[in-house]
Structure 1
Amino acid sequence: MDSLLPSARETAEMILLTLARAEENGATLTRDGLARELNVSSALPLQSLSAESLIALDATGTLSLTPAGRERARALLRRHRLVERHLTDVLGLDWTRAHEQADQLEHTVSAAEEAALSAQLGNPDTCPHGNPIPGTRAAAPTAARSLAECAAQTRGVIARISTETPDALRHLATLGLLPNVAVVVENQAPFGGPVLVRVGHSHYALGRDLAARIWIDLNR
């Protein structure tokens, strides 16, 4: 991967990050799905990652991280989430914009700068969206479930939000659906309908795609 041109190397890193996030959320991606998500047409980054045994491709076209790829991806994920915290905690950037800005900056952060960032921030466990920072004691709660998976009357506290779309994050912030906020799943509408939730005294209907990106800790 280090032999790639800078633009291709950044794309390869984004592929590793995307696969790591999918794995974190219990999802998988095909080669075609990854190309659509990242708007990547060149096969060169995938070929490079495969040649370095960082990713594997099965007979169905599903991509997965190898142990070496997972280690590299976790290092990238750590850097990305530390940059997000710096942007929100130190520079005061709104949390809805932190992800896309971190995407631009993470590729330029050295190992020494990463260590300094972590120390300056007090070695945080999570990013602004509640997702765990690799290399810390934090981990996704074992009892966490997405709102789309929860039965009616399930109660919990929002542990993390895995969407990275600014508009979606702004919408959730408007509704008060933020990390560490208590929420109740009131009902799951049939036939792929919305997920009905209550936050305090307010009731909301969430599309299933968005509900699947909100993870609650059932033990809190």
Structure 2
Amino acid sequence: PPIGGQFYSTIYTLVTSTELAHELALAPPSVLGMLKRLEEQGLVSYTKQTGVVLTGHGRLCADRLRRRHRLAERLLTDLLGMPWERAHDIACRFEHVIDDEVEKYLLTALNHPDTCPHGNPINSTDNKAGKSWQPLTALSPGQIGRLSRIIDESGDTLNYLRQIKLLPGVEIRVHEIAPSGGPLTVEVEGERFALSRAMADQLLVEPGENTGKRPESSHL
């Protein structure tokens, strides 16, 4: 089963035991047992009414673990050439063997990167970037954005984004948004692709100009 560190990272965004169980693919009793142990260690506060909240100490531990996880992802992709859709899962194991000394050497070897390969900040307390980022779903048809961050780092999502060449820093244009929660049709490097609404919600972009809808013939 996942060790406490994976709970830390998930608790950042999920606050009920049911959500944690779904995200971590565990039975609810297993999640409740882990939460009880973490609470005894002073890392989380949990009630059925308010859900799960990291304590001050728990947040410090989570920040450190996430930072090391993202450095491990950089090591795997930048120095070892691992595909980025595999790096996240492997880094989940690496992060637990990185101590203060190794972290220092990693930062130097990687030239102090600002983000992981998926655009998530190495330093969780760095608020300089991201103030103007919006989910891709917030853009209008015809509007352009530059992909800044991929929140969902699951292998399937990253594999698809790599296939359509939608990586951090790449410009993306919303061509069409289907009604009733349907998919978005987007344009990346002159080609159109479909993105589910759920996936598009996990992509943060720096919004740009709205070019309006172009004639169909301009894409042929």
Task: Decide: shared fold, TM above 0.5.
Answer: yes
Output the amino acid matched with 2:21.
Answer: A
Q: Does 1:120 align with 2:109?
A: yes
Q: Is the 8 A contact 2:144 2:208 kept in 1?
A: no
Query: What is the count of residue pairs matched by the alignment?
Result: 206
Output the amino acid matched with 1:38.
Answer: L
Output the amino acid matched with 1:178.
Answer: L
For residues 3 and 114 of structure 2, what CA distance do their matches in structure 1 show? 26
Q: Which of the numbers 146, 150, 168 marks the counterpart of 1:157?
A: 146
Give the fraction of aligned pairs with identical amino acids, expressed as a percent: 36
Q: Does 1:186 align with 2:175?
A: yes
Report the 3-state secondary structure (helix = DSSP H, G, I; strand = E; otherwise coil) of the residue aligned with 2:74.
Answer: helix
For structure 1, the residue ranges without an aligned partner over 5 or more in a row are 1-6, 23-27
Partner of 1:18: 10
Q: Is the 8 A contact 2:132 2:206 kept in 1?
A: yes
Q: Is the 8 A contact 1:132 1:138 kept in 2?
A: no
Shift of 1:54: 2.5
Q: TM-score when scaled to structure 1?
A: 0.84
Report the 3-state secondary structure (helix = DSSP H, G, I; strand = E; otherwise coil) of the residue aligned with 1:218.
Answer: strand
TM-aligned CA distance change 1:58 to 1:152, over 3 Å: farther
For residues 133 and 5 of structure 2, what CA distance do their matches in structure 1 show? 27
For residues 213 and 29 of structure 1, what CA distance do their matches in structure 2 show? 18
Shift of 1:66: 2.9
TM-aligned CA distance change 1:151 to 1:60, over 3 Å: farther
Output the amino acid matched with 1:16.
Answer: Y
TM-aligned CA distance change 1:71 to 1:92, over 3 Å: same
Partner of 2:75: 86
Shift of 1:134: 1.3
Q: Is the 8 A contact 1:147 1:195 kept in 2?
A: no
For structure 2, the residue ranges without an aligned partner over 5 or more in a row are 210-220
Q: Between Structure 1 and Structure 2, whose CA radius of gyration is higher?
A: 2
> What is the RMSD computed on CA atoms of the aligned residues?
2.2
Output the amino acid matched with 1:211.
Answer: A
Q: TM-score when scaled to structure 2?
A: 0.84
Q: Is the 8 A contact 2:184 2:194 kept in 1?
A: yes
Partner of 2:215: none
